Amino acid sequence: MEKDDKILLILNPAAGKGQGKKNFDIIHSLLKEKFKNIEIVISEYRGHISKISRNAINNGFKRILTIGGDGTPYEVLNGIKSREELGSIELGIIPAGTGNSFLRDFIDIDYKKIIDRIKIGKTRLVDVVEIEYGKGKEKKRKYYLNILGVGLIADILKLTNERLKFMGELGYSVSVITHIFKGLKNKINMRYDKKFIELKNSAMVISNSKYTGGKMKISPLSDTQDGKVDIVIFNEVSRIDIIKIFAGVFKGSHMNHKKVKHIKASEIEIDSEPQLLLMADGEVLKQTPLKLTVLPKALKILI
């Protein structure tokens, strides 16, 4: 990154209970020490960042910096129309959210240290996950960087993000307990890399990186550069199983539970009965069926 390159800085003022807005003057000042040509845009509503991103690409911006949580870079990616456009930008993620999970694979969550790294200008290529979901005219396509929850996991994340974020990490535990009493009753058919598996009374996450919900190490074997996602399946779990599994999620020790199954794959198709809720990087995406493709090293991040 050159000193005089034109840079777009997007602030999500709602992220992290306003943490980005609170620190914005310091962040801007630190960036201006090296970059003089910074254009600032503040998002005003959910989905606005995708429109900002789209306009930025149309206007020739090659470097986009975000101030927010995991949902902020997610929105940036979903202003992008093609794989070619994904490869045309460099994305810097300055943490100001509740979780900032994706960044934890690379660095401690300290926005000043991350700004120092951005100013150095080195990039790292990371995989991006492309998904298609829904049926017929309702079919949609999205990209994500961090995690996709399917079924119970999506339900837990949805409740946490919508109603329990103020509780921090405790909110995830409360959400787990709330959903345990509902139990699981479903049938999931999954094809992955030309293989097939049938699951019953199960839930899963499909992760590109290790963490979700901040320090919850839901997928400890994930690698953002291996061209694959990690499918962590809670297979035919009872209420007691769910309690025991989630007791180990923050350390990653849940992977040793006999009902947890781990698969790596680059292409996945999922259908289910009944249809199951999907959530990607904090956004609820309606329900299965789902088609997923990993785009290897498709994005440059400044880190």
Domain boundary among 121, 150, 165: 121
| Backbone torsions φ then ψ of 37, nearest 5 degrees | -105, 70
Identify whether residues 87 and 155 lie together within a single domain.
no
If asked whether residues 113 and 189 sit together in one domain, one would say: no
Copy the structure tokens of residue 103. Answer: 């960044």
Among 121, 149, 172, the domain boundary falls at 121
Does residue 286 share a domain with residue 171? yes
Residue 234 has a pLDDT of 94
Would you state the pLDDT for residue 193? 97
2 in any annotated domain:
no
Domain assignment present for 303: no
- Looking up residue 55, the CATH number of its domain turns out to be 3.40.50.10330
17 Rama sector, left if φ>0, alpha if ψ -120 to 50, beta otherwise: left
Which tokens hold the place of 235?
């297979």
Q: In this structure, are 259 and 288 located in the same domain?
A: yes
What does the pLDDT read at residue 161?
74
For residue 51, being part of any structural domain is answered with yes
Domain count for the chain: 2
Domain of residue 208: give its range: 130-297
User: Which CATH number is 157's domain given?
Assistant: 2.60.200.40
Domain stop point among 96, 121, 146: 121
Same-domain status, 149 and 269: yes
Closest CA to 72 of 35, 103, 106, 39: 103
pLDDT of residue 169: 66
Backbone torsion region of residue 71, taken as left when φ is above 0, otherwise alpha when ψ lies between -120 and 50, otherwise beta: alpha
Walk along the chain (303 residues) and give the pLDDT tens digit of each residue: 454 578 999 999 988 888 999 999 999 999 999 998 999 999 999 999 999 999 999 999 999 999 999 999 999 999 998 999 999 999 999 999 878 999 999 999 999 999 999 999 999 999 999 999 988 888 999 999 999 999 988 888 788 777 887 776 677 778 877 877 777 899 999 999 999 999 999 999 999 999 988 888 999 999 999 999 999 999 999 989 988 998 899 999 999 999 999 999 999 999 999 999 999 998 889 899 999 999 999 999 999
